[in-house]
Amino acid sequence: MSDEQQPKNSGAPRPTGKRQLSGAATTSSADYADKHVVRVEDKNHNDSPGGGVAAFPGEVATEMKKVVWPTAKEMVQYTLITFAFLIVLTALVWGVDTLAGLGVEQVLSDK
């Protein structure tokens, strides 16, 4: 990487993404001052985001129109998948609980 050569007449040095070893800054404070943007406050700008409480119902209606609603067939399918998943997880938790209970009984019971 150190053997990379820059062209002689390239103008400004090409940034390498590395810290300069000499400690010299590659950009001057004048460059930063030139790029500084002064924010102008708008007197008519409303500070409440979204337009306030009065605009909320209209925004909700607009967003609800954008929603892609599932068909009846898709809803039945999603519901059946959800119930099947719940049954499997319930059986898994029941099995772990039963085995843990049997293990605790074995450890704590008098032989």
The full 3-state SS of 39-61, as one line of letters, equals: CCCCCCCCCCHHHCCCCHHHHHH
Each residue's pLDDT tens digit, 45-96: 666 566 788 889 999 999 999 999 999 999 999 999 999 999 999 999 999 9
d(CA 92, CA 38): 61
pTM for this entry: 0.43
Q: What sections of the chain are H helices per DSSP?
A: 29-35, 56-66, 72-108
Q: Are 6 and 14 in contact (CB under 8 A)?
A: yes
d(CA 56, CA 42): 23
d(CA 90, CA 96): 10
What pLDDT does 19 receive? 66
| Tokens 């050569």, located at residue | 5
Q: What sections of 5-55 are H helices per DSSP?
A: 29-35
What pLDDT does 33 receive? 73
Task: State how far the alpha carbon of 61 is from the alpha carbons of 33, 58, 68, 69, in Å.
Answer: 46, 5, 14, 14
Segment holding 36, helix H or strand E: none
Each residue's pLDDT tens digit, 4-17: 665 666 667 776 66
